């Protein structure tokens, strides 16, 4: 097709067609409401395909918030080429591309016109850091849902200090009926200082997740923890390549080995300092990576490399655990050291102190919710590569467990209330 004809179709004819098509769908919704059930139908757009326990935590918390008596249909729009979701209480799944393709936009519009509410989980996908076009497309979907007449929300997301200019422009054009939710005070401040669209300060959806055991693997792991709970100090450890990537670069076998060696040595040293310690290795992402840098791959490798005396004081489940199960485990721990933000949220939500290996300002806003000094409860990934510095950080966290636990208990009700406000 001639480039000028293509340009005319996409830039002139298509916007006009879409404008009238959305008006038609809005009218159809009005007719449907007259004849259809009064129970709500909701449609959810996740941050990515399945595999991230953090994304699962947000999804499960959102779905659990819907009263079965009021909601008759829950639909997930799955990301094309992403791992398929398998969630409780979901009635339908539709595949949708995260790219801007005009026919896909028409397809999306047709799918959702029968629904009452559209929820787009923002997470860390809304500032263009991973993909400017992906972020823009998400804003576009929320806009279309609002124009058709749905209650449309972009649920709690982070916003970095250098958002993509195209994303900023699209947010400034965002339909005022779209509810925009920022999940921490720092992101909220950045957003309202950069963008004119009204926004709401909330906390991450995952704070609403209820702890729950769904498998015999979790029950077995909890049983092992409970057997030592009154005799040992139990520390949950998460090794995430994602948190170290800014310091060591893209995934490779040698870089994965750096993390494996680091954790093996650090665990042995901590056990020397605290002979009563007991470790639980906690992956928080189950997507398999080429060079063994997935959370569960690293955890298994660390476990297999541990000296005998340390391995005897360590438990690890090779089976995939659900977000609600990990939160239940966190409730039984004395301390968690995490490279994943949503594991930190699970830990804080369970009332357990957490120290984090930070990257991309990832934890700054989260800890601001709890009025923690970021310097006290995080260590930079570059610094954490030093065995001495990481042991020193863990030692400081151990010394302050009681104070931190008391402080979390005081602030948590307010944070959970903010999390609930995503849906108010």
Mean pLDDT of 280-297: 88
Confidence of residue 10 (pLDDT cuts 50, 70, 90): low
Decide: 156 and 205 in contact? Cβ < 8 Å. Answer: yes
Q: How confident is the model at residue 2 (pLDDT cuts 50, 70, 90)?
A: low
Q: Which of 246-250, 273-277, 409-413 has the lowest mean pLDDT?
A: 246-250
**pLDDT for position 283:** 95
**Based on the domain organization, do 180 and 50 belong to the same domain?**
yes
Residue range(s) defining the domain that contains residue 323: 216-421
Identify the CA nearest to 46 among candidates 98, 91, 88.
Answer: 98
154, part of any domain: yes
Instruction: Answer yes or no: are the C-beta atoms of 222 and 213 closer than 8 Å.
Output: yes
Q: Which of 71-75, 181-185, 186-190, 205-209 has the lowest mean pLDDT?
A: 71-75
Nearest-CA neighbor of 313 among 232, 393, 388? 232
78 membership: H or E segment, kind and range:
strand 71-79
Is the Cβ–Cβ distance between 105 and 71 less than 8 Å? no
Question: Quick check: is 4 in a domain?
Answer: no
In this structure, the answer to whether residues 362 and 261 fall within a common structural domain is yes
pLDDT digits (tens, 9 = 90+) for 315-355: 998 888 999 999 999 999 999 999 999 999 999 999 999 99
Work out the number of other CB atoms within 10 angstroms of the CB of residue 247.
Answer: 16
- Whether the per-residue pLDDT at 6 is higher than 70: the answer is no
Confidence band of 87 (pLDDT split at 50, 70, 90): confident
Same domain, 198 and 273: no
- In this prediction, residues 60-84 reach a mean pLDDT of 84
pLDDT tens-digit map of 372-417: 988 899 999 999 999 999 999 999 999 999 999 999 999 999 999 9
181 with 129, same domain: the answer is: yes
Please check whether residue 302 is in contact with residue 263, taking contact to mean a CB–CB distance below 8 angstroms.
yes
- Domain end call among 202, 233, 248: 202
Q: How far is CA 90 from CA 87, 94, 419, in A?
A: 6, 11, 22
For residues 363 and 340, what is the distance between their CA atoms, to the nearest angstrom? 9
- Does 356 fall in a domain? yes
Residues 234 and 336 grouped into a single domain: yes
Mean predicted confidence (pLDDT) in 129-144: 93
Sheet holding 92-96, edge to edge: 92-96, 71-79, 40-45, 117-123, 151-157, 179-182, 200-201
Residue 69 lies in a domain: yes
Question: Residue range 270-274: average pLDDT?
Answer: 97
Quick check: 140 pLDDT over 60? yes
* Res 416: pLDDT: 97
pLDDT digit string, tens, across residues 360-378: 677 999 999 999 988 899 9
Please tell me the least confidently modeled range out of 21-35, 55-69, 222-236.
21-35
The domain boundary, picked from 202, 236, 254, lies at 202
CATH number of the structural domain spanning residue 185: 3.40.50.11720
User: Are 42 and 171 within one domain?
Assistant: yes
Could you give the percent of the chain with pLDDT greater than 70? 94
Taking the C-alpha atoms of residue 74 and residue 66, their distance in angstroms, rounded to an integer, is 9
Determine the pLDDT at residue 182: 98
Last-in-domain residue among 168, 202, 236? 202
Alpha-carbon distance of 369 to 89, in angstroms, equals 31
Does residue 198 sit in the same domain as residue 221? no
The count of structural domains within the chain is 2
Q: Is 234 contained in some domain?
A: yes
359 in the same domain as 411 = yes
The whole-chain average pLDDT of the chain stands at 91
- Percent of the chain at pLDDT above 90? 68
pLDDT confidence of 5, banded at 50, 70, 90?
A: low
Regarding whether 297 and 167 lie in a shared domain, the answer is no
Assess whether 180 and 277 both reside in one domain: no
- My answer on whether 179 and 310 are in the same domain is no
Q: At 381, which CATH number?
A: 3.40.50.2000
Phi and psi at 212, nearest 5°, equal -165, 145
Asked whether residue 207 is domain-assigned, the answer is no
Q: Judge whether 297 lies within some domain.
A: yes
pLDDT band at 185 (very low <50, low <70, confident <90, very high): very high
Dist CA 360 CA 382 (whole Å) = 12
Residue 211 counted as domain residue: no
Give the pLDDT band (50/70/90) at residue 24. confident
On whether both 317 and 362 belong to a single domain, the answer is yes
The Cα–Cα gap between 405 and 409 comes to 6
């Amino acid at each position: 097709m001639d480039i000028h004809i293509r340009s005319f179709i996409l830039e002139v004819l298509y916007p006009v067609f879409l404008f009238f098509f959305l008006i038609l769908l809005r009218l159809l919704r009005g007719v449907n409401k007259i004849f259809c059930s009064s129970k709500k139908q909701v449609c959810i757009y996740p941050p990515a395909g399945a595999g991230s326990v953090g994304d699962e935590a947000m999804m499960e918390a959102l779905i659990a918030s819907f009263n079965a008596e009021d909601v008759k249909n829950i639909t997930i729009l799955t990301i094309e080429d992403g791992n398929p979701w398998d969630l409780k209480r979901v009635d339908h799944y539709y595949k949708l591309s995260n790219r801007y393709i005009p026919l896909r936009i028409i397809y999306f519009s047709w799918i959702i016109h029968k629904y009452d509410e559209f929820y787009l989980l923002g997470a860390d996908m809304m500032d263009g850091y991973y993909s400017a076009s992906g972020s823009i497309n998400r804003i576009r979907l929320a806009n279309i849902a609002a124009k058709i007449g749905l209650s449309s929300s972009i649920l709690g997301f982070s916003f970095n200090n250098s958002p993509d200019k195209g994303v900023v422009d699209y947010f400034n054009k965002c339909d005022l009926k779209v509810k925009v939710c920022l999940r921490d005070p720092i992101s909220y401040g950045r957003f309202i200082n950069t963008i004119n669209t009204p926004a709401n300060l909330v906390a991450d959806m995952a704070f609403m997740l209820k702890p729950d055991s769904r498998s015999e693997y979790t029950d077995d792991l909890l049983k092992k923890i409970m057997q030592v709970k009154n005799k040992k100090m139990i520390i949950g450890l998460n090794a995430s390549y994602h948190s170290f990537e800014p310091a060591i670069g893209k995934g490779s076998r040698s870089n994965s080995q750096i993390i494996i060696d680091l954790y093996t040595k650090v665990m042995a040293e901590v056990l020397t300092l605290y002979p009563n310690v007991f470790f639980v290795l906690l992956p928080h992402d189950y997507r398999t990576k080429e060079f063994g840098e997935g959370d569960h791959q690293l955890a298994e490798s660390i476990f297999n490399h541990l000296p005998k005396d340390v391995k005897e004081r360590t438990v690890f489940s090779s089976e995939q655990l659900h977000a609600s199960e990990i939160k239940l485990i966190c409730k039984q721990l004395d301390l968690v050291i995490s490279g994943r933000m949503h594991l930190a949220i699970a830990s804080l939500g369970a009332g357990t102190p957490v120290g984090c290996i930070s990257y991309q300002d990832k934890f700054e806003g989260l800890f601001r919710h709890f009025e923690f000094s970021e310097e006290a409860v995080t260590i930079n990934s570059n610094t954490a590569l030093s065995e001495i510095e990481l042991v020193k950080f863990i030692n400081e966290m151990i010394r302050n467990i009681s104070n931190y636990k008391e402080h979390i208990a005081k602030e948590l009700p307010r944070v959970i209330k903010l999390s609930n406000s995503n849906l108010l």
